Amino acid sequence: RPVAVMLNNIKAGVPQTGISKASIVYEAPVEGGITRLLALFEDYDDLDKIGSVRSARTYYVYLALEYDPILVHYGEAYYAESLLDSGKVSNLSGTSEIGKTVFYRTTDRVSPHNAYTSAEGIEAGIKAMKYETELSDSDSSHFIFTDDDEQNDLNNGTSALKVQIGYKTNTPWFEYNQNDGLYYRFQYDGEQIDDMNDQQICYKNVILQYCSYSLYDANGYLNIDVNSSGTGKYITNGKSIDIKWSKDSEFGKTHYYDSNNQEITINQGKTWICIIQKDQVNKVQIE
């Protein structure tokens, strides 16, 4: 089973450590206009520092569950508690009794931006909680991928050399590098790097998933609907196409479809998925 780690993305909490090892990263807004990241790791055995780790929200838990992972987080919003306690989630929380086994704090940042985990801590937590380590679903692939010798060039797509997401606090964007065919990530007016190796993070695929939402309360806690359907964009190899998305069920997988209602085939490589509120779609700019 992979691990899904809730990563800090506020300015005081960046750069993240270990994020370049994640195969898939989800980004979504939380209260106050900031974003947090959910990073899916298939191979993390050599990581002695992953983080910093922050608390979960309900929609992040639903997104994580699509991969049957071990969810790693440092607490959660009140509204996520019932889902986390439902018995459907194998999770390791820093605010639970297992917290001191899984997490540690550093002295280079102030709390709460200094909580980290590691491969050793995660494995010790999994063992202590007696979680299964094998995927329950034999068909573990979430996406339909191209074959080894093929590329999806989106021949009917429009040019997408720079993609500005529209989140207001970190103002992130991606720039396409034609030499290696990857999208390089920027935020807070500069390159987004991994503190582990000081290298800029980059992705083969970028997916924009437009979602409806409501507010849980007057404090701005978001209830983003990642369980029904909507529209979006698939971006790869310098091109963009319109897509639709829908889920099999509340705990099923999200599928992405092209204009012909065919499930898209995505290119092999790492993928970044932006969850965007429907009323913020007009702030997305694809150049």
Three-state DSSP class for residue 279: helix
User: Confidence class of residue 141 from pLDDT cuts 50, 70 and 90?
Assistant: confident
- Range scoring the smallest mean pLDDT among 54-68, 125-139, 155-169, 174-188: 125-139
Measured at the CA of 240, the angle between CA 236 and CA 241, to 5 degrees, comes to 120
What per-residue confidence (pLDDT) applies to 248? 85
**Which phi and psi angles does 207 have, rounded to 5°?**
-120, 130
**Which phi and psi angles does 282 have, rounded to 5°?**
-65, -10
- 8 contact partners, CB below 8 Å, separation of at least 6: 14, 16, 36, 37, 51, 52, 53, 54, 113
Whole-number average pLDDT of the chain? 96
Segment 157-183 shows an average pLDDT of 97
Q: How large a percentage of the chain has pLDDT more than 90? A: 96
Residue with tokens 């989106």: 154
Segment 50-61 shows an average pLDDT of 97
Give yes or no for residue 137 having a pLDDT over 80: no
Give yes or no for residue 140 having a pLDDT over 70: no
Q: What is the token pair recorded at 43? A: 């191979």
Q: Which tens digits make up the pLDDT trace of 256-287?
A: 999 999 999 999 999 999 999 999 999 999 99
What per-residue confidence (pLDDT) applies to 15? 97
In 3D space, the residue among 34, 33, 89, 32 whose CA is nearest the CA of residue 58 turns out to be: 89
Three-state DSSP class for residue 266: strand
User: Confidence class of residue 50 from pLDDT cuts 50, 70 and 90?
Assistant: very high
Cβ atoms within 10 Å, residue 165: 21
Residue pair 256/263 in contact (Cβ under 8 Å)? The answer is yes
- 270 contact partners, CB below 8 Å, separation of at least 6: 22, 23, 24, 25, 202, 203, 204, 205
Segment 153-172 shows an average pLDDT of 97
Give yes or no for residue 208 having a pLDDT over 80: yes
Segment 159-182 shows an average pLDDT of 98
What per-residue confidence (pLDDT) applies to 9? 98
Segment 20-27 shows an average pLDDT of 98
Q: What is the token pair recorded at 126? A: 């999994």
Residue pair 185/19 in contact (Cβ under 8 Å)? The answer is no
Does the predicted model carry a pTM greater than 0.85? yes
**Which phi and psi angles does 58 have, rounded to 5°?**
-55, -45
What per-residue confidence (pLDDT) applies to 139? 59
What per-residue confidence (pLDDT) applies to 136? 78
